[in-house]
Amino acid sequence: MADYIDVAQARALSGLRLVLSPGVPGPWSEAAKGILYVKGISFVRVRQELGGENRELIEWTAQATAPVAVWNDEPPRSTWIEQLFLAERLQPNPSLIPESLEQRMVMFGYCNELCGEHGFGWSKRLMLIHPTLSNPNTEESARVFSAYIGKKYGYTEEEAKTAPIRVAELLKILGARLEQQRESGSMFFIGTELSALDIYWATFAALVQPLPPDLCPMPDRLRASYTNTDPVVQAAMNPILLEHRDMIYNEYLELPIDL
């Protein structure tokens, strides 16, 4: 496992500090790490206590989750789009945002459907906790943790039941996009070069099928919960999506994943 410092230590430092949950391959966190890795930007890992009170983190960043990027004395950045623009400013090359306005609009639209509220990651989180919260025989400790996650993502039974449909719809569109790109001679989602969208999909694909244990170690229970079993979602999984995930990791991102 990678080395982490606590919040008090991090606040005394300058440079880039990235708040992460040790041992957990959360897609937003892995995407932030992947963007920094591609750009060659060094950072210090700061420990977030998953499910804990995180009082010092709240005092520092006004929230309790990960990832959060903090550069020098600038305000903390706790959303994916803020973190992407910070990375672009700190190291403009290679750029992960297309120069073309039209391509930028397309990329950010897709990225928002993956990373934003009610998007792919959001909906998969609802699917992940629904079996626990809907089962009256669930162990209390598991129910408490799922309720903590559910509060963050606005869990309701109705939202959880419709989540697979939203996920499947996006997967179909992503698969069709990659097929169209491949027909035009490109292996990427946007144009002919790597963009942030390629990294976001590669990291968020863990919520359907995680990388194998030798490339992404994680607790068996977490791996089981990440691995999709929903038939609606499975039917929408074009093989090209995981082929793309594997290509991006093998060619551009750090392997094995260091949690």
Please say if the pLDDT value at position 54 is more than 80.
yes
In a domain, 257, yes or no: no
Please say if the pLDDT value at position 46 is more than 80.
yes
In a domain, 258, yes or no: no
In a domain, 95, yes or no: no
Residue 43: which region, alpha, beta or left (left: phi > 0; alpha: psi -120 to 50)? beta
Indicate if 120 and 75 belong to the same structural domain: no
Coil, helix or strand at residue 69: strand
Indicate if 130 and 248 belong to the same structural domain: yes
More confident residue, 204 or 140: 204
What pLDDT is recorded for position 119? 96
The answer to whether 22 and 2 are in contact (CB under 8 A) is yes
In a domain, 43, yes or no: yes
Indicate if 24 and 151 belong to the same structural domain: no
Indicate if 156 and 206 belong to the same structural domain: yes
91: phi then psi, degrees, rounded to nearest 5:
-145, 95
The answer to whether 156 and 239 are in contact (CB under 8 A) is no
For the chain, what is the domain count? 2
Q: Which domain holds residue 115?
A: 101-252
pLDDT digits (tens, 9 = 90+) for 6-45: 999 999 999 999 999 999 999 999 999 999 999 999 999 9
pLDDT digits (tens, 9 = 90+) for 215-232: 999 999 899 999 999 999
Length of the chain: 259
Indicate if 130 and 210 belong to the same structural domain: yes
pLDDT digits (tens, 9 = 90+) for 81-123: 999 999 999 999 999 999 999 999 999 999 999 999 999 999 9
Indicate if 230 and 114 belong to the same structural domain: yes
Which pTM was predicted? Answer: 0.95
Indicate if 174 and 234 belong to the same structural domain: yes
Strand 16-20 with 68-71, pairing: antiparallel
